[in-house]
Amino acid sequence: MIFRQLFEPLSSTYTYLLGCEETGQAVLIDPVIASMDRDLEQVHRLGLTLAFSLDTHIHADHITAALELKHKVGSQIAAPAFDRLVCADVGIEEGVPFKVGSLALQPLHTPGHTDGHFAYFLGDRLFTGDALLIEGCGRTDFQNGNADALFKSVREKLFTLLDDTLVYPAHDYKDRRVSTIGQEKKRNPRLGEDKTLEEFKTIMAGLNLPYPKFIDHAVPGNQQCGVCPSHLPDDLARYCAQMTDSPQG
Interface with Fe ion (CB under 5 A): 59, 130
Closer Cβ to Fe ion, 83 or 130, answer by number: 130
If the CB atoms of residues 59 and 125 are measured against Fe ion, the closer one turns out to be 59
In the complex, minimum distance from the CB of residue 20 to Fe ion, in angstroms, rounded to a whole number: 27
Sign, Cα dihedral of 121, 64, 138, 57: negative
130 vs 172 by CB, closer to Fe ion: 130
Q: What's the CA angle centered on 89, arms 138 and 35, to 5 degrees?
A: 50
Give least dist CB 104 to Fe ion, A. 25
Amino acid making up residue 53: S
Closest approach of Cβ 243 to Fe ion, in Å?
A: 21
**Nearest distance from residue 113's CB to Fe ion, in Å?**
6
Q: Between residues 51 and 170, which has the closer beta carbon with respect to Fe ion? A: 170
Between 43 and 92, CB nearer to Fe ion:
92
Closest CB to Fe ion belongs to which residue? 130
Closest-CA residue to 204 (of 120, 128, 148, 133): 148
* DSSP code per residue over 46-89: TT-EEEEEE-SS--SSS-BSHHHHHHHH-PEEEEEGGG--TT-S
Integer Cα distance of 69 and 75 in angstroms = 6
* Residues facing residue 52 across a β-bridge: 27, 76
What is the closest distance, in whole angstroms, from the C-beta atom of residue 218 to Fe ion in the complex? 9
- Rounded least distance, CB 140 to Fe ion, Å: 11
Cβ pair 242, 67 in contact under 8 A: no
Nearer to Fe ion, 110 or 180 (CB): 110
- Strand partners for 118: 109
